[in-house]
Amino acid sequence: MTAISLKLRRIGLPRLIVHVSVLLIVILWLIPTLGILVTSIRDKNQITTSGWWTAFVGSSQTSAVRLGDPATAKQEGGKFVISGSVFENGATGKVQAFGTRVQEPAAYKVGQTVDLGEGESLLINGDGTYVQSKATAFEGRPKRIYLTVTVPPTFSLDNYRTVLNSEGLGQAFINSLTVTIPATIIPILISAFAAYALSWMQFSGRALIIAVVVGLIVVPLQMSLIPLLRLYNEIGNIFGVPSKTYAGIWLAHTAFGMPLAIYLLRNYIAGLPKEIMESARVDGASDFEIFLKIVLPLSFPALASFAIFQFLWVWNDLLVAIVFLGTGRDQLVLTGALNALLGSRGGNWEILTASAFITIIVPLLVFFCLQRYLVRGLLAGSVKGG
């Protein structure tokens, strides 16, 4: 709370309006993600019959069941009686109403004996137990009735089990890690050396290189794709190696992250106190030693900021992955897998929501744990186009 905001509070909008509007914004921003989170742990039948916002109150479904077989009827006090439960096939829930015709599936209330004509009567209780009785013997097939059942909310991790194993998300997760870990760490070292040279070493052409690096920050990835794809294919042909490899994408991500990395780190390293460098130099330390022992440890906050950027960017990237990696199981990353599922499993929301949540959980964890560094990085490098 700064003094400015205290002043504004006295003169500005009434506080209540501010609180309510921020609350509304927060809800608006949270609901989309909440929707897939809740859906991903719901039962897949419930997902298709009711909105996720009703997940906690249970859903109401109409279904048809057959009562017990006439052969199981018992004679009680001059009547033939069949009794049992409508939930014998393993379903659970609470019966709200029932009917004998599909047009009126909720014609009768539960807990009351209903006269169905021809001496037949039927009682269904809320818990699903029923008593069907008739003056004469039952004939033919078991009676079909229609039930309106409210199903209590059930939550499980079944959807996650399904997508991780049979939909290949587990493998894709590993592939994403395989792409991301080296593609985050390696550019840091290379760009840190470059940033040091551009900040503390005197040589001709320095200003030009800095200008080129700044210019390259905004060069669209699209400019690189065609020539690089051709280059990779040619190299693959000449040396008889596959053109889509992890090594290829590591280098690509390293290079694409390089301009921002050099820019961010140079800004930071150039701002380090001159006295430290000079006193180290007077003590006889070489540039190599100064960099390793002084610059690298002091630049930790900037290195962390860039590492988070690069991690999020590589993990969330789709374009580079589909151009430079194959679509086989052993190379498909999470974003690619999710994109493929959108095509093949378009309406299966239990699969899509669980998969989506798996792809976003790691970046969200990184985000919430390291938000401080991310904000600092954003403020330092907001010329970058993403």
Partner 1 sequence: MFAQILSAVGVMVVGVFICALYYWLSDKALQLVFPVRDGDVIGASRNLNRRAAVRPWLFLGPALILLGVYLVYPVIATFILSFYDRAGQDFVGFANYRWAFFDAGFRQSIFNNILWLAVVPAACTFFGLVIAVLTDRIWWGNIAKSIVFMPMAISFVGASVIWKFIYEYRGGNDAQIGLLNAIVTSLGGNPQVWISMPFWNNFFLMVILIWIQTGFAMVILSAALRGIPEETIEAAVIDGANGWQIFWKIMVPQIWGTIAVVWTTITILVLKVFDIVLTMTNGQWDTMVLANLMFDWMFRGGGDSGRSAVIALVIMAAVTPIMIWNIRQANRDAGGH
Q: Based on the shown chain and the rule CB under 8 A, indicate whether residue 364 belongs to the binding site for partner 1.
A: yes
Q: Based on the shown chain and the rule CB under 8 A, indicate whether residue 121 belongs to the binding site for partner 1.
A: no
Q: Based on the shown chain and the rule CB under 8 A, indicate whether residue 300 belongs to the binding site for partner 1.
A: no
Q: Which stretch binds partner 1 (CB under 8 A): 101-109, 111-119, 160-168, 331-339?
A: 331-339
Strands 144-151 and 120-124: unpaired
Q: Select the residue interacting with partner 1 from 255, 294, 298, 304 (CB under 8 A).
A: 255
Q: Based on the shown chain and the rule CB under 8 A, indicate whether residue 238 belongs to the binding site for partner 1.
A: no
Report the alpha-carbon distance of residue 356 to residue 312 in Å, rounded: 15
Closer residue to partner 1 (CB): 129 or 245 = 245
Q: Is the Cα dihedral 4, 5, 10, 14 positive or negative?
A: positive
Please report, in angstroms and rounded to a whole number, the separation of the first and last CA atoms in the chain. 31
- Name the minimum Å distance from CB 285 to partner 1: 12
Provide the 10 A C-beta neighbour count for residue 251. 18
Q: Based on the shown chain and the rule CB under 8 A, indicate whether residue 193 belongs to the binding site for partner 1.
A: yes
- Name the minimum Å distance from CB 180 to partner 1: 8
Q: Select the residue interacting with partner 1 from 81, 123, 221, 304 (CB under 8 A).
A: 221
Residue 34 structure tokens: 């909440």
Q: Based on the shown chain and the rule CB under 8 A, indicate whether residue 251 belongs to the binding site for partner 1.
A: yes
Q: How far is CA 47 from CA 153, 162, 268, 349, in A?
A: 11, 15, 50, 7
Report the alpha-carbon distance of residue 232 to residue 253 in Å, rounded: 14
Closer residue to partner 1 (CB): 123 or 210 = 210
Q: Based on the shown chain and the rule CB under 8 A, indicate whether residue 191 belongs to the binding site for partner 1.
A: yes
Q: Based on the shown chain and the rule CB under 8 A, indicate whether residue 39 belongs to the binding site for partner 1.
A: yes
Closer residue to partner 1 (CB): 80 or 193 = 193
Closer residue to partner 1 (CB): 137 or 379 = 379
Q: Select the residue interacting with partner 1 from 138, 256, 306, 373 (CB under 8 A).
A: 256
Closer residue to partner 1 (CB): 112 or 327 = 327
- Name the minimum Å distance from CB 167 to partner 1: 14
Is there a contact between 315 and 180 (Cβ–Cβ < 8 Å)?
Answer: yes
Report the alpha-carbon distance of residue 232 to residue 226 in Å, rounded: 10
Strand partners, 147: 63, 98
Strands 79-85 and 120-124: unpaired
Report the alpha-carbon distance of residue 239 to residue 172 in Å, rounded: 28
Q: How far is CA 92 from CA 44, 126, 153, 367, in A?
A: 15, 11, 11, 41
Q: Based on the shown chain and the rule CB under 8 A, indicate whether residue 206 belongs to the binding site for partner 1.
A: yes
Q: Select the residue interacting with partner 1 from 78, 137, 139, 203 (CB under 8 A).
A: 203
Q: Which stretch binds partner 1 (CB under 8 A): 82-90, 109-117, 147-155, 167-175?
A: 167-175
Is there a contact between 323 and 225 (Cβ–Cβ < 8 Å)?
Answer: yes
Closer residue to partner 1 (CB): 128 or 248 = 248
Q: Select the residue interacting with partner 1 from 81, 186, 280, 294 (CB under 8 A).
A: 186
